[in-house]
Amino acid sequence: MANARAHVIIGAGAATIGWIAYCEARGRPLRSIEGVLVAALGAIGGLLPDLLEPATNPNHRQFFHSLVTAVSLAGVNHYVWQQPTIPLNKKAALGLASAGYLSHLLADARTPKGLPFG
């Protein structure tokens, strides 16, 4: 099972890879200060499930560690990215933090306990 440090690293990595792919797709240059911010957003997202449901016992995984939450988060991102009135920087922040959050759930899903449905 991944610990907090691993979730931070995985979340930061997921967000960074997502940002690189986004910049490549848009033909946009990468900027180093953005890389730091992107990694920080991913790291926070990677910690968020355990902040919402602390790992105080082996059965701590409830709603915020569930497949329903993963699908809901993906749906929220899809909806937000379709809204022309929401600024791009806010869309990006949500997407990057979500990448970290979802990376946490994917890491936990690979454990013997897995993830609950809802």
Return per-residue pLDDT of the chain as tens, 118 residues. Answer: 689 999 999 999 999 999 999 999 999 999 989 999 999 999 999 999 999 999 888 888 999 999 999 999 999 999 999 999 999 999 999 999 999 999 999 999 999 999 999 8
- In sequence order, the 6+-apart residues with CB closer than 8 A to the CB of 52 are 64
CB burial string 41-55: b at 16+ within 10 A, e below? bbbbbbbbbbeeeee
Judge if pTM exceeds 0.85.
yes
The total number of residues shown for the chain amounts to: 118
What is the 3-class SS of the chain, one letter each residue? CCCHHHHHHHHHHHHHHHHHHHHHHHCCCCCHHHHHHHHHHHHHHHHHHHHHCCCCCCCCCCHHHCHHHHHHHHHHHHHHHCCCCCCHHHHHHHHHHHHHHHHHHHHHHCCCCCCCCC
- The answer to whether 73 and 96 are in contact (CB under 8 A) is no
